[in-house]
Amino acid sequence: MDYLEQLNEAQREGVINTEGPTMIIAGAGSGKTRVLTYRIAHLIRAKAIDPFNIMALTFTNKAAKEMRERIEHVVGYDARNLWMGTFHSVFARILRAEATLLGYPSNFTIYDTDDSKSLLRTIVKELGLDEAVYKPNVVYNRISAAKNRLISWQQYLASPELIGDDAANMRPEMGNIYRAYALRCFKAGAMDFDDLLFNTDKLFQEHLDVLNKYQHRIHYVLVDEFQDTNLCQYFIIRKLCSMRENICVVGDDAQSIYAFRGADISNILNFERDYPDLKIFKLEQNYRSTQTIVEAANSVIRKNRAQLPKNIWTMNEEGNLVELIKAVSDNEEGRLVATSIFEEKMQHQLKFSDFAVLYRTNSQSRAIEEALRRNNIKYKVVGGLSFYQRKEIKDLLAYLRFTLNTNDEASFRRIINLPKRGIGDTTVDKIVVAANDHAISIWDVLQNAQSFLGDRTAGRISDFATMISRFQLEVQRKDAYEAAFEIAKGSGMLRELYEDKTAEGIGRYENVQELLNAIKEYVDDPEKPDKTLGAFLQEVSE
Q: Three-class SS of residue 23? A: strand
**Overall domain count for the chain:** 4
Cβ of 178: how many Cβ atoms within 10 Å? 25
Nearest to 267 by CA among 280, 250, 245: 250
Contact 296, 23 (CB under 8 A): no
Residues 218 and 344 placed together within one structural domain of the fold: no
Residues 428 and 525 placed together within one structural domain of the fold: yes
Cα–Cα distance for residue pair 137/453, rounded to 1 Å? 34
User: Where a domain ends, among 124, 159, 188?
Assistant: 188
Residues 465 and 439 placed together within one structural domain of the fold: yes
Contact 465, 447 (CB under 8 A): yes
pLDDT at 539: 80
Domain enclosing residue 413, as ranges: 387-541
13 conformational bin, left if phi > 0, alpha if psi -120 to 50, beta if neither: alpha
Q: Three-class SS of residue 54? A: strand
Cα–Cα distance for residue pair 255/304, rounded to 1 Å? 12
Q: Which residues lie below 8 Å from residue 472, measured CB to CB, with a gap of 6+? A: 403
Residue 311 lies in a domain: no
Residue 215 lies in a domain: yes
Residue 193 lies in a domain: no
Residues 396 and 356 placed together within one structural domain of the fold: no
Residue 71 lies in a domain: yes
pLDDT at 417: 92
Residue 89 lies in a domain: yes
Contact 511, 387 (CB under 8 A): yes
Nearest to 340 by CA among 367, 297, 377: 377
pLDDT lower than 50: segments of the chain: none
Nearest to 313 by CA among 327, 297, 337: 297
Residues 184 and 204 placed together within one structural domain of the fold: no
Contact 460, 431 (CB under 8 A): no
pLDDT at 408: 92
Q: Which residues lie below 8 Å from residue 298, measured CB to CB, with a gap of 6+? A: 311, 312
pLDDT at 152: 97
Domain with residue 134: its CATH number is 1.10.10
279 conformational bin, left if phi > 0, alpha if psi -120 to 50, beta if neither: beta
Q: pLDDT tens for residues 278-319?
A: 999 999 899 999 999 999 988 988 888 888 888 899 999 999
Residues 208 and 257 placed together within one structural domain of the fold: yes
Size of the chain in residues: 542
Contact 79, 71 (CB under 8 A): yes
User: Where a domain ends, among 162, 188, 214?
Assistant: 188
Cα–Cα distance for residue pair 354/435, rounded to 1 Å? 59
Cα–Cα distance for residue pair 218/54, rounded to 1 Å? 6
pLDDT at 1: 62
Residues 510 and 400 placed together within one structural domain of the fold: yes
Dihedral sign for Cα 214, 220, 223, 224, please: negative
Q: Which residues lie below 8 Å from residue 111, measured CB to CB, with a gap of 6+? A: 119, 185, 190, 191, 192, 193, 410
309 by Cβ neighbours in 10 Å (0-12 / 13-18 / 19+) ranks as exposed
Residues 237 and 173 placed together within one structural domain of the fold: no
243 by Cβ neighbours in 10 Å (0-12 / 13-18 / 19+) ranks as middle
pLDDT at 542: 62
Domain with residue 439: its CATH number is 1.10.486.10
pLDDT at 425: 86
Cα–Cα distance for residue pair 39/26, rounded to 1 Å? 14
pLDDT at 385: 60
Cα 362 to the center of its chain, rounded Å:
19
406 conformational bin, left if phi > 0, alpha if psi -120 to 50, beta if neither: alpha
Q: pLDDT tens for residues 450-499?
A: 888 777 788 899 999 999 999 999 999 999 999 999 999 999 999 999 99
Cα–Cα distance for residue pair 302/177, rounded to 1 Å? 43
Cβ of 483: how many Cβ atoms within 10 Å? 27
Residues 366 and 395 placed together within one structural domain of the fold: no
Residues 230 and 358 placed together within one structural domain of the fold: no
Residues 511 and 395 placed together within one structural domain of the fold: yes
Q: Three-class SS of residue 223? A: strand
For residues 202, 536, 461, 437, the Cα torsion angle rounded to the nearest 10 degrees is: 0
- How much is the pTM? 0.82
Dihedral sign for Cα 37, 41, 47, 53, please: positive
Cα–Cα distance for residue pair 407/7, rounded to 1 Å? 53
Ranges of H-type helices in 349-437 = 365-374, 391-404, 409-415, 425-437
CA distances in angstroms from 213 to 233, 238, 459, listed in the order given: 19, 15, 50
Residue 294 lies in a domain: no
Residue 98 lies in a domain: no
User: Where a domain ends, among 188, 222, 239?
Assistant: 188
Q: Tell me the DSSP string of 115-172.
A: HHHHHHHHHHHHTT--TTTS-HHHHHHHHHHHHHTT--HHHHHT-HHHHHHHHHTT-T
Strand boundaries in 183-294, DSSP class E: 190-192, 220-223, 247-251, 279-283
Residue 308 lies in a domain: no
Contact 517, 459 (CB under 8 A): no
Q: Three-class SS of residue 86? A: strand
Q: Three-class SS of residue 348? A: helix
Cis peptide before 51 (omega within 30 of 0): no
Residues 359 and 397 placed together within one structural domain of the fold: no
